[in-house]
Amino acid sequence: MQPNPSLEFNDAGLTAFLANLVRAPSPNPPGNEGLVAELMVTRLAGLGFETITVEAAPGRPSVVARLVGTGGGATLLFNGHMDVQPPGRHWSRDPFGATIEGRRLYGQGAMDMKAGLAATVYAVDSLQQAGLRLAGDIVITAVADEVCGGHLGTGFLISEGLVQADMAVVCEPTGDTVRVAHRGALWLEIEVTGKSAHGGRPWLGVNAVSKAARIIAAIEDQLVPSLQDRVHPLLPAPTINIGAIRGGTKFNLVADHVVFQLDRRLVPGEDADTAEAEVSALCTEICAADDDEWSVDVKRAMHVSPGEVDPDERIVRACREAHRKVTGEDAAIGSTAGFEDAHFLLDAGIPTAMYGPYRRTASGEDPHYTISGMADEFVDLDDVARATRIYAQLMIDLLEKPL
Ligand SMILES: [Zn+2]
């Protein structure tokens, strides 16, 4: 099947808009998505969208934009985050300069995922240039806070009841795959409190560093292996990473305080409460079995639920079909070991696919994780143009006719 021959779009306008998004710095933390939100609102309003901007916290806006169709059609949501990872230290270009070299546009967040936002906007622009009016509504949510868990972005919009749609696409860069599952994350801070004493008489104290080491060893030797049978057909088993530890004062003092940070990744079917209870139970067990007097306290810092959608769901099939129409190639079903905003939409009952058709890097690695947060992130402008065509095709396929 051939792509719709009447669909053309303003390639120079798309590039200029993407460059403007990249030149509006929004590294998270702290976020500061305001300038990106303004650019999105102005461009979307120019295309006839009704827009609202809401702030979950000061300076943390998210945009909900709706283009009302001629009536009787489905509502299709495109979700993209405006915040980006903080720039790495080794940029050879200005990370917010949007330098263009050949067909590459360099910038922090260029691929992850300001290209996705630009592609959705110019997909609508291309439909309007072709004079196409669709029956269904198009909703675009440009959100804050995704790289830190999304609770001040998509999570806030859902909790406020501001997002209604029949199906959704999260426009993360997914290469030539349509992703149907992502893992969740549970971040715990574990605080161990011992008793201070002089380092020359350690028997008078209780060393929190030593007790924390016991807990970490038990987590890695007992808990992690016990999780390995929680298999998912598309995802790695649950994992635990101890990402940071701090505590103690100096050589010759018995440390009375240690805090370490634990990142537990969840597969679909698991929930954060149970995962936290497993860690807490092990900590309590280690502490209770020890004759010394010390304590351990487990606090939740953040959690993101895992998410999955049936590969036979209409939105997944439609993404693959649009991909095939435009590229002539099949898009495989995929997944991501990281966390995404998709679970917020899935938990709200909106069938959601993760699909941002920017081709993979030459290394074959996952672009979301090889590029995100690394120096000299770029996106190929031909890929952005291709993604724009595919999103436009998807809009036509799902919204052209009344239901
Ligand atoms: Zn992303």
What's the CATH code of the domain at 239?
Answer: 3.30.70.360
Report how far residue 50's alpha carbon sits from residue 329's, in angstroms, rounded to the nearest whole number. Answer: 35
Ligand 1 centre distance from Cα of residue 87 (Å): 14
Model confidence at 6, pLDDT cuts 50, 70, 90, reads low
Q: pLDDT tens across 314-323, in order? A: 999 999 999 9
372 CA from centroid of ligand 1 (Å): 8
Same domain, residue pair 205 and 121: no
**SS3 category, 262:** strand
On whether residue 259 sits in a domain, the answer given is yes
Per the prediction, the chain carries an average pLDDT of: 94
Taking the CA atoms of 352, 169, 350 and 273 in sequence, report the sign of the dihedral they define.
Answer: positive
Residue 4: pLDDT above 80?
no
Whether residues 292 and 154 share a domain: the answer is no
For residue 2, pLDDT over 60 is answered with no
Which residues, other chains included, contact 273 with Cβ-Cβ below 8 Å and sequence gap of 6+?
none
Structural domain includes residue 294: yes
Residue 5 domain flag: no
Cα 116 to ligand 1 centre (Å): 9
What's the DSSP call for residue 402? -
Shared-domain flag, residues 140 and 284: no
Q: Give the pLDDT mean for 46-68.
A: 98
Q: Are residues 60 and 158 in the same domain?
A: yes
SS3 331: coil
d(CA 15, CA 5): 21
CATH of the domain at 81: 3.40.630.10
Considering 260, 284, 304, which residue would you say is the last residue of a domain? 304
Last-in-domain residue among 304, 336, 365: 304
> Are residues 46 and 137 located together in one domain of the fold?
yes
Please, which contacts does 89-95 make with residues 24 or more away whose CB atoms are closer than 8 Å?
89/375, 90/375, 90/376, 91/375, 91/376, 92/375, 92/376, 93/376, 95/375, 95/377
**Boundary (domain end) residue, out of 270, 304, 338:** 304
Same domain, 192 and 126: no
**CA pair distance 237, 266, nearest whole angstrom:** 8
For residue 403, the model assigns a pLDDT of 86
In this structure, is residue 3 part of a structural domain?
no
Question: Within a domain: residue 283?
Answer: yes
Phi-psi group of 131: left, alpha or beta (phi > 0 → left; psi -120 to 50 → alpha; rest → beta) = left
94 and 145 part of one domain = yes
Q: For residues 236 and 183, give the distance between their C-alpha atoms in angstroms, rounded to a whole number.
A: 9
- Ligand 1 mean position to 81 CA, how many Å? 7
Whether 97 and 23 have beta carbons less than 8 Å apart is answered as yes
User: Ligand 1: distance of its center to the CA of 36 in Å?
Assistant: 15
29 has pLDDT over 60? yes
Whether the per-residue pLDDT at 5 is higher than 60: the answer is no
How many domains are contained in the chain? 2
Cβ count near 326 (within 10 Å): 23
pLDDT confidence tier of residue 362, bands split at 50, 70 and 90: very low
Domain hosting residue 16, numbered range: 11-182+307-399
Give SS3 for 120.
helix
- Classified as helix, coil or strand, 51 is strand
* Ligand 1 center from residue 146 Cα (angstroms): 7
| 6 found inside a domain | no
In the structure, what pLDDT confidence band is assigned to residue 360 with cuts at 50, 70 and 90? low
Are 199 and 275 part of one and the same domain?
Answer: yes
Q: Examine the domain organization and report whether 50 and 131 are in the same domain.
A: yes
Angle between helices 115-129 and 381-399 (to 10 degrees): 60
Mean pLDDT (whole number) for 353-369: 67
Residue 157 and residue 61: Cα distance in Å, rounded? 10
> How remote is the CA of residue 42 from the centroid of ligand 1, in Å?
23
Same domain for 296 and 314, yes or no, is no
